[in-house]
Structure 1
Amino acid sequence: MADNKEFFPPQYDVNAKWDACLDLTVRRFVYSSLGGAFGGLLLFRSPVSRWASVAFGAGLGIGSAYTECSRLFEGSPAKLAAPKVIETPAPQDGQDNLCKSR
C-alpha cells in the first residue's frame, strides 16, 4: 500500500501536525511542572504554596504549547491589535503659517 506522504504535501499533513502538537504539549507540561515543583521546593514552606507553584508551571507549559500549536496549524492566538499609525507628509516651507516666527 502507498504511503500517505505521497498524496499530501507536508503543510497539509494534519496527522503529523497533531503528533507534533501532542508531543510538544506533553513535554512542555511535564518539564514546566517539574520546574515549578523544584522552584516551589526551594522557595516555599507551605504545601499549598508548593502545589500552587506546580500548577503555575503547568499552566505556563500548556499555554506555551498552545501558542506553538496554533502557529503550527497556521493560526494565531488571540492578540491585541496594534494601533494603526497614519503618516501624513510634512508641510513644505511656504505652506505652514503656524510654524513661522513673528
Structure 2
Amino acid sequence: MAESPENAAAAPAPAPPAAPSPAPAPAMKSSPPTRFGIPLRYDLDAKWDACLDLSIRRVAYSSLGGAFGGLILFRSPTTRWASVALGAGVGIGAAFTECSYIFNGSPPNWSAPECSYIFNGSPPKWGKSN
C-alpha cells in the first residue's frame, strides 16, 4: 500500500558532490605562445592584423567625425571636404602612432640636449673676443 503524501516523511536531499580541489596554476610566461608556438611579441602576422584593424577603424571613425562636424559647422562643400580630410589625417596620425608602439614597443625616453653655454638672456657672440 502506498502511503499518502501527507504521511510520507520528507526524504533528505542528496548532498551535492564535493568540488574538486583546484590544480596549481602553471608559472606565468612573459608572452604566451600563439597557435604556431611563436611568442606574441615576435609574431608579425598578429601585429600586422592588429595594426590594419586599428588603422581602418581610426581612419573611418575620424573621417565620419570630420564629415559630421563639417555638416554641422560649414556650408560650403569645399570646407566640408576639408573637414573630412582633416579628420582622416588625424585618424592616420593616431593609427601610425599606435602601430609604431605595436611594432617597436614603447618610445625611448630621450634626455634633454646638453648646451655648451648657459643662456643668460642674450645670444653668445660667436667669433668676437671681449
Q: What TM-score, normalized by structure 2, do the two folds share?
A: 0.56
Q: Deviations for 1:51-89, whole angstroms, at most 9, x for unmatched residues?
A: 000000000001000000000001567x9x55247xxxx
* Amino acid of the structure 2 residue aligned with 1:16: A
1:5 Cα deviation after fit: 2.8
Residue 68 of structure 2 is matched in structure 1 by 38
Distance, in Å, in 1 between the alignment partners of 2:86 and 2:103 is 26
* Amino acid of the structure 2 residue aligned with 1:43: L
The answer as to 2:78 corresponding to 1:25 is no
Question: How many residues of Structure 1 are paired with residues of Structure 2 in the alignment?
Answer: 81
Q: What TM-score, normalized by structure 1, do the two folds share?
A: 0.70
Distance, in Å, in 1 between the alignment partners of 2:48 and 2:86 is 25
Distance, in Å, in 1 between the alignment partners of 2:66 and 2:106 is 27
Higher relative contact order (CA 8 A, sep 6+): 1
Distance, in Å, in 1 between the alignment partners of 2:43 and 2:35 is 8
Distance, in Å, in 2 between the alignment partners of 1:25 and 1:37 is 18
**CA RMSD in angstroms, aligned pairs only:** 2.4
The answer as to 2:30 corresponding to 1:5 is no
The answer as to 2:74 corresponding to 1:74 is no
Q: Deviations for 1:19-60, whole angstroms, at most 9, x for unmatched residues?
A: 000000000000000000000001000000000000000000
Return structure 1 stretches of 4+ with deviation > 4 angstroms. Answer: none
Between the aligned residues of both structures, percent identity stands at 64
* Amino acid of the structure 1 residue aligned with 2:102: L
Whether the 8 Å contact between 1:67 and 1:76 is mirrored in structure 2 is no
